[in-house]
Copies of this chain bind each other. A is one copy, B any other.
Amino acid sequence: MQEQTDPPDEPSPGLVSTAIQAITQHIRSEGLAPGDPLPSEAAMTRQLNVSRTVVREAFRSLSAMRLIDMSAGRRATVAKLDTGAMSMVIEHGITTQQISVQQVYDVRRTIEMRTVALAALRRTDQEAAAIGQSARLMRENFSNPEAVMEHDIAFHEAIAAASHNPVFSLIVTAFSGVTRRTWVIGWRTRSSDEAQLKMIKGHEDIADAILKGDPRLAAEHMAEHFDKSVKALLDAGIA
């Protein structure tokens, strides 16, 4: 058996938590869709019989998680799926050293081996074009590492989008922040222009395999890409 940290009784989870639950419950029970408006703060205040402070902190919390959208003067609305909260959790794990960059890469590899295969099977022509475009822009901006990185990130997100499973997109996008903070290290480790161009070639190979609709080949190239990336990070001493 395992040790539980929660005491057996939790009488008051706090008014704010209660309010948060009431709001999410409202979304569920009313079957609200993205864009639909939520009750005003005043209405919630009356319904829950608490102060506006409490209701406001609840709304603000949901807004911070990007579950709802708030803006001045208008009512809050149900938000489209967004990676905001996940990104913050991952970043928090990294900055407090509870997870390592290498662990993130291991998860990315696992997921992207799947997204790339799905993309090869399910991509539309437009999505294939977007993926190819990102790879092409990496080469064209070769002399500008920052630009290469952004197109690299866009490349991976485009593949996730082409998997037609928004959960994959969510996760892959959540990792982009970590990538932004470590990408340059991997790039510098590829000391020669030749090594750097080879890395870009790897992306083009993946794009081609997706365009051809060959999931096995796409996954093979993706595996190779990740193995090299992780090796680059390890060479640079990233734990």
Chain A interface residues toward B at CB < 8 A: 2, 16, 20, 24, 27-28, 32-34, 53, 56-57, 60-67, 78-83, 85-86, 88-93, 95-99, 103-104, 106-107, 110-111, 114, 130, 165-168, 170-171
Contact = CB atoms under 8 A, between A and B. Distances in A.
A67 B80 contact: no
Contact of A106 (B65, B93, B165): B165
Nearest to A88: B65
Tell me the number of copies of this protein.
2
A165 B80 CA distance: 29
Given A28-B95, A34-B98, A114-B110, A167 B103 contact: yes
Contacts of A34: 96, 98
Contacts of A97: 33
Given A28-B95, A99-B166, 16 more contacts: A2-B130, A24-B88, A24-B91, A27-B96, A34-B98, A65-B89, A66-B89, A67-B88, A67-B92, A78-B96, A81-B92, A81-B99, A82-B89, A85-B86, A110-B114, A171-B171
Contacts of A99: 81, 165-167
B85 A165 contact: no
The 7 closest A-B pairs by CB, nearest first: A61-B64, A85-B85, A110-B114, A57-B60, A107-B167, A81-B98, A28-B95
Contacts of A167: 90, 93, 99, 103-104, 106-107
Given A33-B97, A90-B167, A93-B167, A85 B103 contact: no
A30 B63 CA distance: 27
A62 to B, nearest CB: 7
